[in-house]
């Protein structure tokens, strides 16, 4: 394991390293299958800010210095391969809430529980280490696999964000989901 920070059953979370930028992480934002359900929509484009090396490097430096964002590489323990990213963004320290974002960029790892496990680990980190009260997220209402994973991690639906995402000439609803600290500890039996 390469600098693990949080260790799970089949994966571990570690900080993003500059070397990660030159790996597959650079390809994920340009893969229409990977980006299909993202807010930005499917992105098969070469001139986009999402695939620019300079922009990726700038984002890395910004995240490294940020006091409001914590982003981890999701790494498969068996192969030591980085398979995705999970992060807590826009930490609000007064009401103690944060937005969760996740992507499993390596398609060979889709549907195998990596998203659920990474979500559970980062939620535990948010409540146990950062002492936050709420973790929330937005998800395309059609992304059934992700919704199932979030529910499995203890998230509940708060509401619908109508026509929140645009893809292929059409608008799509998104769900707002969250988990509260007390719900998390009740479910965990603490």
Spatial distance between the Cα atoms of 123 and 135, rounded to a whole number of angstroms: 7
Report field, pTM of the whole predicted structure over 0.75: yes
Residue with tokens 């709420």: 134
The reported pLDDT for the residue numbered 52 is 57
Q: Rounded to 5 degrees, what angle do the CA atoms 74, 91, 48 make?
A: 60
Contacts of 47 (CB under 8 A, 6+ apart): none
Count H helices and E strands in the chain, helices first. 5, 8
The reported pLDDT for the residue numbered 53 is 54
DSSP assignment of 79-97: T--EEEEEEEEEEETTTTE
Catalytically active residues, by annotation: 150
Higher pLDDT, 1 or 93: 93
The reported pLDDT for the residue numbered 166 is 84
Mean pLDDT of the chain: 86
Higher pLDDT, 49 or 99: 99
The reported pLDDT for the residue numbered 4 is 67
- The tens digit of pLDDT for each residue in 111-165 reads 999 999 999 999 999 999 999 999 999 999 999 999 999 999 999 999 999 999 8
DSSP structure class, residue 43: -
Provide mean pLDDT across the span 68-88: 94
Higher pLDDT, 81 or 19: 81
Q: Which domains does the chain have, with CATH numbers?
A: 6-188 (3.40.630.30)
The reported pLDDT for the residue numbered 48 is 44
Q: Which of 113, 133, 138 is nearest to 123 (CA)?
A: 133
Provide mean pLDDT across the span 168-173: 88
């Amino acid at each position: 394991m390469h600098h693990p920070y949080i260790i799970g059953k089949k994966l571990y979370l570690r900080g993003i390293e500059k070397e990660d930028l030159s790996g597959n992480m650079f390809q994920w934002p340009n893969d229409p299958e990977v980006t299909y359900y993202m807010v930005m929509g499917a992105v098969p484009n070469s001139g986009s800010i999402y695939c620019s090396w300079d922009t990726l490097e700038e984002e890395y430096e910004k995240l490294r210095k940020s006091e409001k964002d914590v982003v981890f590489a999701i790494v498969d323990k068996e192969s030591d391969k980085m398979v995705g990213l999970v992060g807590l963004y826009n930490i609000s320290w007064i009401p103690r809430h944060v937005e969760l974002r996740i992507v499993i960029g390596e398609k060979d790892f889709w549907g195998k529980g990596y998203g659920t496990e990474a979500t559970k680990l980062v939620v535990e980190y948010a409540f146990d280490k950062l002492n936050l009260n709420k973790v929330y997220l937005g998800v395309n209402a059609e992304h059934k696999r992700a919704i199932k994973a979030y529910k499995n991690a203890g998230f509940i639906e708060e509401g619908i964000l109508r026509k929140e995402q645009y893809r292929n000439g059409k608008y799509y609803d998104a769900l707002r989901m969250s988990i509260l600290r007390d719900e998390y500890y009740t479910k965990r039996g603490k």
